[in-house]
Structure 1
């Protein structure tokens, strides 16, 4: 039976090199040394998960529980553990450091035994049983094994290995083609099964299995209309079709088949369609599997199951009999006005284990579909967008109306008021318009903002669907709402390679005039957000030294600092929030620059934040009709 120690040593070797080919060779060599059953276990863990994508179990053992286990085994106090973490920026490496002081013992833990331990840990209920299981498991491990046990349990391997690289290594280890491995992985959602099929030469026999999320295709951001046009003009065929490259049709053929309603003028090279960029939750919908009637899956970009937060969508889609995978956006919806509500409305339903009937009525939701990934019993990723769009339109025409007739399941439906939510389709088609000119795009952006949406998506009609890829075939035009000049009031140590520097900054604006008109330490400051992106490593290092020298209170990982450093921050929008005393929070703030030229007394005010908030177009959709 294969020991876990070589797996942990492999992970150390993978983390030590940045060379992709070297990583792939190391993984392939390791897989060839294992029995197939152990290789099937190893590929899952190398990808960073204890279970296959189709396996809905979770270990549910977080950092707090793991910290207790390490403390029990090592006797380390809180300060010692914090110091170890600061040295490494990684809890697994910090734990290995602490465990190294224990009496050494031989490696005995096997891959098969670890799989059984994960099964037991996923089945355990309550923190006490889980703590015993984790402590027993770590007690069997050598320090390097404990390092990767903890990283695997936390889902944070940090070896620089993605699933795509593991797929390449599988192909190399079993002398097969990478596209065949990747296709089988997408169809099955289980790399362990892919390894077995690769070894047997049966990858072509893989068949699609629903209810495991595929990777999401991503869009490249552009800030201006001119930039969007320039990017599409420079787009290449290789970037359009990607590694799945199945369509041999030329751009000219595609152009000739665009709807007769499309304007004759268009961007150079490729016909393009425009869609609104919605401000909701990107999600993937799976339903209609005949082997599990009524089952519905909703998955986020991070592949989390969203079902608990949106039972009304689950009920609506359970009636759809045809197997399908759709890409789209979950939106809070104003049925009377036929427009999306702000993200702040939707946010109230995120992460809830139970959504009340009142919340369902006050914040109804829809799934706005804009792509079809699986339909007609086939994966459609290799088909051009124009063909996937036709399939999507046909599917929505047939099944969209059914989603307006869904009834609430279970005992709760017995007590639903007669005046419950109005019936309207919960599955909707995202409108799309052919792009004809720069002027049209500029106008479409303004209209999208007036509808309360974030901006405009631009998609080449020749583009295949490339899971997990970000190219020039899809662009998103989303201008910054505004920028604010703010002052840093708190600084926090980061994670990973930023664990030793103060890289996360809480910032504030002025609330009215200063107490005496000049002194910065008498400013009436109100926090409005926190940002950690936008600065260089050199700037962060310099600010770390500065904030350490100007700390007011040190709470370990976080410290309040003298309000002396002014930043310019950009953001997507302003939300009402109880998180800060200001009553507002900036959404997706990003640091533009350090304002060494601006004194603290001249930073923006809370009144300015209120003005930006009130001027947002989406506020027009912020309430439901009574």
Structure 2
């Protein structure tokens, strides 16, 4: 039987090496020595998940609850717990320290014998079923009482979903393949199809991986785009590093195409007059989402997943209602957008700023008023699964044609969906328009057109433009040059740091997150917080500086003397009640430390408001 102690010690060994092949060898040897059911659990836990993707249970045991459980088990003071966390930036590693320091080195007698993987599985199931922190706390405490310090370390890491061993699911899948002497690509494909790693292990052990069939309602990985800062960089990287390489085999096969040119008939676009670089789409300012619908075995079931694989369905019930009417199986990639069905001065709808959509994120209950004030649509730009077929391996131009036909057949079905069980409530207030839309795409023929397209996209309220190769396959979880995104920073501001916060993980011991402000007369008003853009050396230097210039120390956060000036870039300015200034910068990034600039010369709140007013996509 799989002892949890062996699992914990394996994870210590995994964390101790940075060599991928060594990690894979350690895991495959360990899995090979277990019974199949234990190996199935171990593979799941090695990937950092308490439950399989298709298993909708969740532990719902956050940091506060786990801290209370650890305090009870270890007997440590709050000060000792804070110091241990500060040392490691990780509750699991802190727990091992605290338990060893306080002599809690073994299970208490009442907790019974040693933990095994099936025992952990059983207790996780009980924690998931328990309602509320009061019911969960004794279960977590009991689990820690049955654990040795190193076991407690990885129990807490697993419950938090953050193992920090340098192991991703893809590497676990490779280890499964090595353990059961099969092909890694086959394991990975089966895992993608069924979304259940324990079941994949069982199939691999029985050499039945070819029986894996696609199941909806578990998120696949999203294909990602590489950022570029200029038209010139986009054209150079795209033409030289992607298209020429991709088109060479087809040219050799006899298809008529000039070097560097994509045959227009395959693009589903009008014949170009000049060289085609690729296809252009707007870069929307919404929530990237994956939509699953149309499974006849579960009529009406619709689910939406974010890039982080969170279930978004509860926040957007009108999309669930709308897509429940679609009878065809589909997994679509696209963007959830706040949408104005009729734009000012015309009938053409348009996307609203992200700041409008933000009000809907994370809502467990969406009111009729929210639905009316912030209507949403799903802007589809790619297809991953249609009918009964995965289409990931098909080139984009083929996927695009399939998607166009799917939208043509089904968009109208999403226009008149009624709220289930609440027809009268929403009959008058719910806007009636198609909730499924197809992202416009045009052939890119020149660098000048790309520059103009960017300007036009910004004027429509979108973030920028996407440039995609029409030959590109859909590669879940991959970021390559086949998709590029052109987003220019809106502006930069010189700001002063007013607060500093300790980071997490490897930055747990340094002040790496900085709250910053602009001038408003004689006062300073905060407008954002940034934690990216500086080197480790610069962060170390600022940590020493801010410790010497602390005004109030709250433990994890401290207010500091407003003396250090930074130059920050950002994507846009939003109205926000979070800060006294009334504004917040979206995606701020530190460009440099401005030791050459006195605080008296930093930017003003008036400048922030001026930038806000200049945005074509400003919110209300």
TM-score (norm: length of structure 2): 0.95
Aligned to 1:138: 144
Aligned to 1:21: 21
Pairing partner for 2:409 from 379, 398, 402:
398
- Taking the aligned partners of 1:572 and 1:417, their CA distance within structure 2 comes to 38
- Taking the aligned partners of 1:613 and 1:491, their CA distance within structure 2 comes to 26
CA separation of 1:437 and 1:250: change in aligned 2, threshold 3 A:
farther
CA contact (8 A) 1:400 1:425 kept: yes
- Taking the aligned partners of 1:469 and 1:281, their CA distance within structure 2 comes to 19
Aligned to 1:169: 175
- Taking the aligned partners of 1:260 and 1:580, their CA distance within structure 2 comes to 47
Aligned to 1:517: none
- Taking the aligned partners of 1:124 and 1:602, their CA distance within structure 2 comes to 56
CA contact (8 A) 2:378 2:436 kept: yes
In structure 1, the gaps of 5 or more residues are 515-523
Matches within 5 A, 1:237-316: 255-256=262-263, 257-259=266-268, 261-266=270-275, 271-316=277-322
1:103 CA displacement: 4.0
Matches within 5 A, 1:599-610: 599-610=598-609
Aligned to 2:559: 560
1:199 CA displacement: 1.2
- Taking the aligned partners of 1:248 and 1:38, their CA distance within structure 2 comes to 51
CA contact (8 A) 1:263 1:436 kept: yes
Aligned to 2:462: 453
Pairing partner for 1:323 from 321, 324, 329:
329
How many residue pairs align between the two structures?
603
- Taking the aligned partners of 1:155 and 1:236, their CA distance within structure 2 comes to 36
1:236 CA displacement: 4.4
In structure 2, the gaps of 5 or more residues are 108-112, 344-348
Pairing partner for 2:446 from 437, 447, 452:
437
Aligned to 2:533: 534
CA contact (8 A) 1:266 1:272 kept: no
Give a deviation string over 1:284-321, Cα, whole Å, max 9, x none: 00000011000001000000000110000000000111
Larger CA deviation: 167-176 vs 426-435: 167-176
1:413 CA displacement: 2.2
- Taking the aligned partners of 1:403 and 1:249, their CA distance within structure 2 comes to 42
3-state DSSP of counterpart to 1:400 = helix
Matches within 5 A, 1:477-516: 477-512=486-521, 514=522
- Taking the aligned partners of 1:246 and 1:41, their CA distance within structure 2 comes to 45
CA contact (8 A) 2:106 2:149 kept: no
Aligned to 1:102: 103
What is the RMSD of the two structures over their aligned residues, measured on CA atoms?
A: 1.9
Structure 1 position 230 matched with structure 2 position 258: no
Aligned to 1:60: 60
3-state DSSP of counterpart to 2:30 = helix
- Taking the aligned partners of 2:297 and 2:96, their CA distance within structure 1 comes to 46
Aligned to 2:355: 344
1:174 CA displacement: 1.1
3-state DSSP of counterpart to 1:210 = coil
1:417 CA displacement: 5.2
- Taking the aligned partners of 1:153 and 1:576, their CA distance within structure 2 comes to 36
1:169 CA displacement: 0.9
Matches within 5 A, 1:172-251: 172-236=178-242
1:233 CA displacement: 2.4
Pairing partner for 1:415 from 417, 425, 444:
425
CA contact (8 A) 1:282 1:329 kept: yes
- Taking the aligned partners of 1:210 and 1:283, their CA distance within structure 2 comes to 15
- Taking the aligned partners of 2:581 and 2:389, their CA distance within structure 1 comes to 52
1:202 CA displacement: 1.0
Structure 1 position 44 matched with structure 2 position 44: yes
Pairing partner for 2:132 from 109, 123, 126:
126
1:187 CA displacement: 0.5
CA contact (8 A) 1:403 1:425 kept: yes
